[in-house]
Amino acid sequence: MSFDRISSDRPIRVRAGIEKPDIVVVLDPSLLRIGNVTSGLKEGGTLIINSARPLDKLAAEYGERWKLAVVDAGEIARDLLGVPIVNTTMIGALLKTTSLVKLESMIQPLKDRFGRLAERNVNAMKKAYEETQIREAG
């Protein structure tokens, strides 16, 4: 488990774990079988899952309490990056599902971070953005 705090209007000083997240991103679909990925997720929050399973099947399991998004980031990463590492791919799903950051705003940071491998990572992020399926809460 890991967490990030994002704020655009004030410094973040809290360093403790997050007990009531607004958004949960599941990078590894095996976690769906071994843990409660929605534990503490706020009512009306957002659940973003890397899975080859269709949105309607996951929606049946997770109900309508949360906004649900799904993308097969593993397949995208294998196709475009050559490895099943889904971190930058799932950024695309996060950006499509939320209004935290615009897709275009992530391109230069990925170029800065990945250098010669940037184009593949940018393409993986963009493909995930395009292929992410979303079902609104309620």
Tokens of 5: 């705090």
Q: Is residue 8 part of a domain?
A: no
**Number of structural domains, the chain?**
1
Q: Quick one: 33 exposed, middle or buried, by C-beta within 10 A (0-12, 13-18, 19+)?
A: exposed
Band the pLDDT of 8: cuts 50, 70, 90.
low
Query: Tell me: the pLDDT tens digits for 65-104?
Result: 999 999 999 999 999 999 999 999 999 999 999 988 999 9
86: domain range? 23-135
Domain of 37, CATH number, reads: 3.40.920.10
Band the pLDDT of 5: cuts 50, 70, 90.
confident
Q: Is residue 3 part of a domain?
A: no
How many other C-beta atoms are found inside a 10 Å radius of the C-beta of residue 13?
Answer: 6
Angle at 64 between CA 63 and CA 65, to 5 degrees: 100
Residue type, 31: L
Distance of CA 78 to the CA centre of its chain: 17
- At residue 1, the pLDDT reads 66
- At residue 132, the pLDDT reads 98
